[in-house]
Structure 1
Amino acid sequence: MSTSVDEAIRTLLLLMPRLIGRAKRTPPPPELESFNLAPRHLSLLAYLLFEGALGVNELAARLEVAPATVSLMVGDLSRKGILARREDDADRRRTIVSIAPGHHAAIDGWLGRGASAWRTALEPLTPDQRRMFVDTLLTFERAVGGGEA
């Protein structure tokens, strides 16, 4: 069954607010509620959850922000005890960031639900279809943002 561009747009314009609404209604676990985590923190936490400990510059590159911005976020979350920082043994100038062990399970349970839902949606697709889906979302993000990204 073929879907016209206009039909697909109509479906997505109705779907996107529901998806965003669900994401916003997904509260952080009780042990993280008092930390006032913002969406920018979630991206940082997701990278650390799924990729493990990373350097500040690596996080900045992945988040597409300046290292100083990541340093500020890491400092804030470290003071709250959510993140752990340590010097890289091989290069003392490099800071390695990870999720603090005491919060790892809560963050995994919280962000892991979204990862599980994406896995359900993406696993049936071929690698090329997954790439096209991701590329489409990235193109949409750039178009909505006026070319920013």
Structure 2
Amino acid sequence: MSMPVPMPPSGGDEGVDATVRELLLLMPRLVGRAKRIPVPEALRSFSLAPRHLSLLAYLLLDGPMTVNELAARLEVAPTTVSLLIGDLSRKGILERREDDRDRRRRIVAIADVHEPAISAWLAPGAAAWRTALAPLTADQRRLFVDTLLAYEAGVDAERD
């Protein structure tokens, strides 16, 4: 038996409650669809997890970068990124090389042999986002992203 979802008083704005209901139904479907995107055959043996996907997406879309740059974009500690990179490097998915401008720094990139499979894996999601976001203005796209970030923060606050 399902329990009703408690809704806060609407304060006269019935539209917000209707939208919340719609999103409560939509979000699990979106997550479910994302989870069903098959890992390409060439990558299946690597046991890649969602934490790897974000890192790979940044490297694919923005090109090679340093550990600190990746950590800043992923909003995690550099040590966390170093562990992920070490794991993916040992599997041959990523390559680390010296930065030509500063030999003390290491640049991380997707190994050429795996780039086509990773690109094919991420392409459908990127194409769907482009289709959904293209009709919006820059301000509307920013509002959409800010709304998702506020939702994420709200969910995190509820857990604490």
AA in 1 matched with 2:65 = L
Q: Which residue of 1 aligns with 2:111?
A: 100
Q: Which residue of 1 aligns with 2:68?
A: 57
Q: Which residue of 1 aligns with 2:155?
A: 144
Q: Residue by residue, what CA displacement relative to the aligned partner does 1:45-82 show, whole Å, maximum 9, x if unpaired? A: 00001000010100001111111111111011011011
Q: Which residue of 2 aligns with 1:73?
A: 84
Q: Where does the alignment leave 5 or more consecutive residues of structure 2 unmatched? A: 1-13
1:25 matched to 2:3: no
3-state SS, counterpart of residue 6 of structure 1? helix
Query: In structure 1, what is the Cα distance between the partners aligned to 2:23 and 2:56?
Result: 28
AA in 2 matched with 1:57 = N
3-state SS, counterpart of residue 92 of structure 1? coil
Size of the alignment, in residue pairs? 146
AA in 1 matched with 2:77 = A
3-state SS, counterpart of residue 4 of structure 1? helix
Query: In structure 2, what is the Cα distance between the partners aligned to 1:72 and 1:124?
Result: 39
Q: Please, what TM-score do these two structures have when normalized by structure 1?
A: 0.95
Task: Give the CA RMSD over aligned residues.
Answer: 1.3
Q: CA deviation at 1:98?
A: 0.6
Q: Which residue of 1 aligns with 2:101?
A: 90
Instruction: Work out which of the two has the higher radius of gyration on C-alpha atoms and give 1 or 2.
Output: 2
Q: CA deviation at 1:32?
A: 0.5
AA in 2 matched with 1:81 = G
Instruction: Flag as ranges the 4+ runs of structure 1 deviating above 4 A.
Output: none
Query: In structure 1, what is the Cα distance between the partners aligned to 2:77 and 2:64?
Result: 18
Q: Where does the alignment leave 5 or more consecutive residues of structure 1 unmatched? A: none
State which drifts further: 84-93 or 11-20.
Answer: 84-93
Q: Which residue of 1 aligns with 2:54?
A: 43
Q: CA deviation at 1:18?
A: 0.4
Q: CA deviation at 1:93?
A: 1.6
Q: Which residue of 2 aligns with 1:114?
A: 125
Query: In structure 2, what is the Cα distance between the partners aligned to 1:147 and 1:107?
Result: 35
